[in-house]
């Protein structure tokens, strides 16, 4: 891919490693105009990659690289275009936290190095540039390709991985990433993986839960405190919760802290009574007897 400026002046190395600083060597760090050219190169490569993969929008651009902690490996051919150099392609990688499924269907939380975008110019493909660029990245990261994850690899990229690295048996995933057989079983990979704790199955109800439920049932069956029969648990608890001697004549409205179950001999159909009502009835009976005997 050719540009209207000198590629060799911007990228001094055959393979340049770019990050969010958009700096390719000391020279570009000191010259803003060269950084602008670097941004132009990255944007053009991102658009070409999106077009080749039939994507609706580029997934690689200078602005995205500046906002993400990814690395972009850019390969050039410095002898082409009359010594001005041409850009051959790029490879973008970065670490991603993923939830993956192994062969047994167990969810695994991992943060592997992922291939996020890979593009070689169409007129320069099948010349070994892709293998050179990919091998450079593997050596720089000191990593095996089976330990990596691949974001939405195209059929052409999958053929590349099968041909050069024998990666053919992929483990199906529910996301857009592809991992291959051996990713979960390598010792180096397992050290970086962490199983997501499974949800505990619903077991038997614990004894204390049964007791709590029985208390709720008793509370729902018993009458409210003003109408509770004498010597009932509600009356007992209410009298115990009185806040001062001046309030002992009236039941406390504080919610009971403990609800005792009703006595085995108690009846739920008893009419509500109170000592005050009993005394009134006794007084009325006494008055009636006195009137019948002629006492006034």
> In this structure, what is the dihedral angle of CA atoms 144, 145, 147, 151, given to the nearest 10 degrees?
150
Is 107 annotated to bind ligand? Answer: no
Residue 217, annotated as binding a ligand = no
Q: Is 83 annotated as a binding residue?
A: no
42 among annotated binding-site residues: no
Q: Is 232 known as a binding-site position?
A: no
Give the DSSP per-residue string, the chain: ---SS-HHHH--SSEEEE-TT---SHHHHS-HHHHHHHHHHHHHHHHHHHHHTT-SS-S--HHHHHHS--EEEEEEETTTTTTT-EEEEEEEEEE--EEEE-TT--EEEE--EEEEEEEE-GGGTTSSHHHHHHHHHHHHHT--GGG-EEES--HHHHHHHHHHH----EEP-SSSEEEETTTTT-HHHHTT-EEPPPPPPP-PPPHHHHHHHHHHHHHHHSPPGGGPPTT-HHHHHHHHT--SGGGTTS---SPPS--PPPPTT--TTPPP--HHHHHHHHHHHHHHHHHHTT--
118 is in an annotated binding site: yes
129 labelled ligand-binding = yes
Q: Is 267 annotated as a binding residue?
A: no
Q: Is 145 annotated as a binding residue?
A: no
Q: What are phi and psi of 182, to 5 degrees?
A: 110, -15
Task: Tell whether 252 is in a known binding site.
Answer: no
Q: Is 121 annotated as a binding residue?
A: yes
Residue 236 is labelled as binding a ligand? no
Is 147 annotated in some ligand binding site?
Answer: no
Q: Is 142 annotated as a binding residue?
A: no
Q: Answer yes or no: is 133 a known binding residue.
A: no
Is 55 within any annotated ligand binding site?
A: no
Query: Is 95 assigned to a binding site?
Result: no
Question: Is 94 assigned a ligand-binding role in the annotation?
Answer: no
As annotated, the binding site includes: 118-131, 154-163
As annotated, the binding site for acetyl-CoA includes: 118-131, 154-163
């Amino acid at each position: 891919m050719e540009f209207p400026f000198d590629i060799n002046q911007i990228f001094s190395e055959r393979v340049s490693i770019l990050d969010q600083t958009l700096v390719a060597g000391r020279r570009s760090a000191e010259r803003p105009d060269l950084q602008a050219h670097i941004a132009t190169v990255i944007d053009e490569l991102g658009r070409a990659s999106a077009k080749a993969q039939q994507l609706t929008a580029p997934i690689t651009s200078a602005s995205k690289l500046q906002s993400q902690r990814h690395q972009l490996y850019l390969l050039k051919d410095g002898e082409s275009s009359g010594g001005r150099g041409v850009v051959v392609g790029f490879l973008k990688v970065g670490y991603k936290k993923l939830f993956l499924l192994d062969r047994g269907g167990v969810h695994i939380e991992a943060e592997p190095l992922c291939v996020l975008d890979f593009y070689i110019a169409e007129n320069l493909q099948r010349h070994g540039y892709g293998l050179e660029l990919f091998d450079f990245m593997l050596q720089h990261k000191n990593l095996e390709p089976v330990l990596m994850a691949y974001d939405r690899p195209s059929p052409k990229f999958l053929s590349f991985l099968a041909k050069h690295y024998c990666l053919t048996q992929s483990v199906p995933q529910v996301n857009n990433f592809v991992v291959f057989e051996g990713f979960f079983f390598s010792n180096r990979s397992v050290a970086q993986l962490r199983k997501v704790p499974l949800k505990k199955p619903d077991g038997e109800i614990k004894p204390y839960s049964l007791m709590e439920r029985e208390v709720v049932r008793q509370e729902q069956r018993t009458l409210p405190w003003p109408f509770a029969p004498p010597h009932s648990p509600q009356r007992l608890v209410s009298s115990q919760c009185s806040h001062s001697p001046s309030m002992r004549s009236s039941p406390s409205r504080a919610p009971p802290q403990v609800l005792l179950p009703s006595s085995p001999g108690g009846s739920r159909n008893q009419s509500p009574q109170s000592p005050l009502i009993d005394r009134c009835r006794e007084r009325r009976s006494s008055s009636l007897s006195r009137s019948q005997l002629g006492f006034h």
